[in-house]
Structure 1
C-alpha cells in the first residue's frame, strides 16, 4: 500500500529553531494526522472508537484492512459490510458483517436480522453453516486438558463420484457416517439416551426403571441382546413389542426362556379307582418350564391360549370320568359354572371295561390360573395308558 503522507522525521525538519515553515509544509503537517470529521474515524470522550465504512450504502462497504506490513500491496485480512455473493452483481449483497482473507474469500460472515453465521460462505442457511472445498475435516471439538483428544469431529471422505460426511464422537478418525467410541452409561437409565461403541441405553419414559431396561448391547458372550423395557424394578415386567403386519421372518435358532415355555406330559403310576379331586399323576414324562406342580395341577405362567389332552382307559366294569377344573371352583370353558352342562365341555367318560377314550380342550387362561383333573364315578383306570398333557400354544401380552 502506498502512503503519500510525511513521516514524523520529515515533519520535524519543518519546525527547527529560526526556520519559518511554508504554507505547503503546514499543509503536510495537517494532512499527516487523522481528522475525525473527514477520515471516518472518531473517538468521542465517553464513547468507544468509531469507524465509518467506505462505500455506497447499497453496495459493499469496506471497514478495516489489516496488513502484516504497510508496504504490502494487499491486506492479509479485511472487514466489510454487506458483501456481495457474486462480486460482478451489485444486487447480490448480503446484509451483515464479513471477515475475508487476502484472496477475498469470506472466512466468517454474520448475517443481519436472523444472526445466521457462515464459515466459508456468505449464504448461511442455518444458525451455523460450514462450507468448505476439498477439506477433510469440517468441524472439530478438541480437549487439551491432558493430551490433545478429539471429542467431536465432522469430516468428509471422497468416494469416487460423491462426498460422504462422517461424524466422529470420541474419535478423530471416524470410519463410518457416525463413529462413536468411549465408555458411556450402560445401566441405570435416566432421561437421556446413552450411546457407546457397543450399546444403546434408551432414556425418556425409561428413566429410573430397572438397570438393564430398554437396552441394546453387543454382549461379551458373542450375542446381540435386545432387552425390553420394564414397568418397574422387576425383570419379570420387561416387554418387547414388534409390529410386523406383513409378516416376520427369523433365520436361525430362536431361544425362548423356560418361564414362557409350557409343555408337560404326566401319567398315572398306579391304578386309580373312585372319585379323586385332584387326581395325582406321579409319573412325569416331561415338564418343560416346571409349571406342572405337586403332581396334580398346572399354574399358567402367562396369559395365553392353552391346549390340554386327557387320555384314559377304564379297567373296571363301572363308569369313570375325568373333567378339567379351573381354579378349584369351576370347569375349564365352563364360565365358572359348576352345573352339568358347562362341565361336559371339558369332560372325558369311559363307561365300559377296557374302553379307552381321549379328549382335547383348548382354552384361554390368565396368568396364575390353576388347572387340574378331577376323577368322578366309582370305576377306575389303569396306569399304563392313562395320562394328562398340556402345552401353551400362544402367549398373549
Structure 2
C-alpha cells in the first residue's frame, strides 16, 4: 500500500527554532494526521472509538484492513459489512459483518438479524454453519489440561465424527462414552425417538401406533422385552421379524405370546347337508392370531409353509358328501399336477356311506394374504360333533 504522507522526522524539520514553515509545510503537517470530520474515524469523549465504513450503502462496505507491513500490496485480514456472495453480482450482498483473509475468502461471517454464524461461508443455514474445501477437521473440541486430547471431532475426510471421552445427555456425570439419563416417553409413540434409562421407544413411522409399539425395554423382573411394531392402534396387529440366515442360538426360554401363534381349530355346530361354498364352521375351538375370519375362511398373515387337516363323518343314507380345500375362492390349495382334476384330487375327501369317517392332511406353501376355505359338495350330510377343519403355520419363509 502506498502512503503519500510525511513521517514525524520529516515534519519536525519544518519547525526548528527560528524557522518559518511555509504554507505547503503546514499543509503536510495537517494531512499527516487523522481528521475526525473527514477520515471516517472519531473519538468522542465518553464514547468508544468509531469507524465509518467506506462504500455504497447497497454494496460491500469496507471497514478495516490489517497489514503485516504497510508496504505490502494487500492486507492480511480485512473487516467489511454486507459482503457479496458473488463478487460479480451486485444483488448478492449478505447483510452482516465479515472477516476475510488475504485471498479474499470469508473466514468468519455473522449475519444481521438472524445472528447465524458462518465459518468459511457467507450463507450460514443454521446458527453455526461450517464449510471447508479440504480434508481437515471441520470441528474439534480439545482438552489441554494435561496434554492435548481430542474430545470431539467432525471431519470430512471419512465422513466421520467421534467422541474420545464421555458425553452425558440429561446428566453432568456420565458413566460411559455415551450416558443418557432421560425422563422421556416409554409408551404411546410420537414422531421422536425416546431413549430413557431402561427403554428405547422408536418414533418416525411408529408415531400414533399401539401404546407399546416398536420398543425395547428392561422390566422390573430382570427381563428384556422387545415389542414388535403395530400397523394400527391395536395390539393384535403388532409384528416382529428376525433375520438370521446363519442361524440363531438362544440360551434359556423364549416366550412367544399366544397372539403370535398362527393356528386354528373349528367344527360344525349343526348337521350340515348339501352343497355349501364356503362351508360355515360356527364352533371355534381356538383361533390363535385371529386369522380364521367370519367362521368361513382362513387368511394367511405371512408367506410360509402351512398344514391343514379336514375331518368329516357322513351321517345320512341319501348320497355322497365331500369336502374340497379351496384357494382364493377359485383354485385348489395343493397346486401339484398339471390339470385341474389332478390338483383337485390332492385337496379333497369324500364319504359314500352312513357313519363313514374320512380325513385329509394337506401341506402347502401360501403367500401372505392367500385365502383358504372348505367347500362341501354332494347330497349327503355331516355330523356336527365329528366334522371339523384345522390349520397351523409351520414356518414362515422369505
TM-score (norm: length of structure 2): 0.51
1:169 to 163, 169, 179: 163
128-137 vs 30-39, which moves further: 128-137
Other-structure match for 1:28: 28
Q: Deviations over 1:176-227 (max 9, x none)?
A: xxxxxx5678xxx977997956x886743589xxx99448xxxxxxxxxxx9
> For 2:156, what is the secondary structure of its paired residue?
strand
Match runs of 1:97-112 below 5 Å: 97-112=97-112
- 1:67 offset after TM fit, Å? 0.6
What is the CA–CA distance in structure 1 between the aligned matches of 2:226 and 2:153, rounded to whole Å? 35
Q: RMSD of aligned C-alpha atoms?
A: 3.6
> For 2:6, what is the secondary structure of its paired residue?
coil
Report if aligned partners of 1:81, 1:95 keep a CA contact under 8 Å in 2: yes
What is the CA–CA distance in structure 2 between the aligned matches of 1:46 and 1:152, rounded to whole Å? 44
Other-structure match for 2:137: 137
What is the CA–CA distance in structure 2 between the aligned matches of 1:91 and 1:258, rounded to whole Å? 71
Report if aligned partners of 2:77, 2:102 keep a CA contact under 8 Å in 1: yes
What is the CA–CA distance in structure 2 between the aligned matches of 1:212 and 1:96, rounded to whole Å? 44
2:183 to 201, 204, 214: 204
Match runs of 1:297-308 below 5 Å: none
> For 2:24, what is the secondary structure of its paired residue?
helix
Other-structure match for 2:68: 68
Match runs of 1:226-375 below 5 Å: 229-232=217-220, 234-235=221-222, 238-243=224-229, 245=239, 247-251=241-245, 252-255=247-250, 257-258=252-253
- TM-aligned CA distance change 1:67 to 1:183, over 3 Å: closer
- TM-aligned CA distance change 1:241 to 1:99, over 3 Å: same
Other-structure match for 1:310: none
- 1:71 offset after TM fit, Å? 1.0
Q: Deviations over 1:42-99 (max 9, x none)?
A: 0000000000000111101000000111111111000000111111111111110000
What is the CA–CA distance in structure 2 between the aligned matches of 1:54 and 1:126, rounded to whole Å? 29
What is the CA–CA distance in structure 1 between the aligned matches of 2:51 and 2:148, rounded to whole Å? 40
Gaps of at least 5 residues in structure 1 are 158-163, 171-181, 216-226, 262-301, 307-332, 334-397
What is the CA–CA distance in structure 1 between the aligned matches of 2:27 and 2:9, rounded to whole Å? 16
Report if aligned partners of 1:190, 1:206 keep a CA contact under 8 Å in 2: no
Q: Deviations over 1:132-162 (max 9, x none)?
A: 11233111111111110101111112xxxxx
Report if aligned partners of 1:155, 1:167 keep a CA contact under 8 Å in 2: yes
Q: Deviations over 1:243-268 (max 9, x none)?
A: 3748544452342535959xxxxxxx
What is the CA–CA distance in structure 2 between the aligned matches of 1:4 and 1:169, rounded to whole Å? 56
Report if aligned partners of 2:171, 2:180 keep a CA contact under 8 Å in 1: no
> For 2:9, what is the secondary structure of its paired residue?
helix
Report if aligned partners of 1:2, 1:71 keep a CA contact under 8 Å in 2: yes
Report if aligned partners of 1:201, 1:214 keep a CA contact under 8 Å in 2: no
Report if aligned partners of 1:191, 1:206 keep a CA contact under 8 Å in 2: no
What is the CA–CA distance in structure 2 between the aligned matches of 1:93 and 1:112, rounded to whole Å? 12
- TM-aligned CA distance change 1:22 to 1:206, over 3 Å: same
Q: Deviations over 1:250-303 (max 9, x none)?
A: 452342535959xxxxxxxxxxxxxxxxxxxxxxxxxxxxxxxxxxxxxxxx99
What is the CA–CA distance in structure 2 between the aligned matches of 1:105 and 1:92, rounded to whole Å? 16
Other-structure match for 2:146: 146
TM-score (norm: length of structure 1): 0.51
What is the CA–CA distance in structure 1 between the aligned matches of 2:240 and 2:40, rounded to whole Å? 74
Report if aligned partners of 1:68, 1:75 keep a CA contact under 8 Å in 2: yes
**Is 2:115 the counterpart of 1:86?**
no
- TM-aligned CA distance change 1:10 to 1:202, over 3 Å: closer
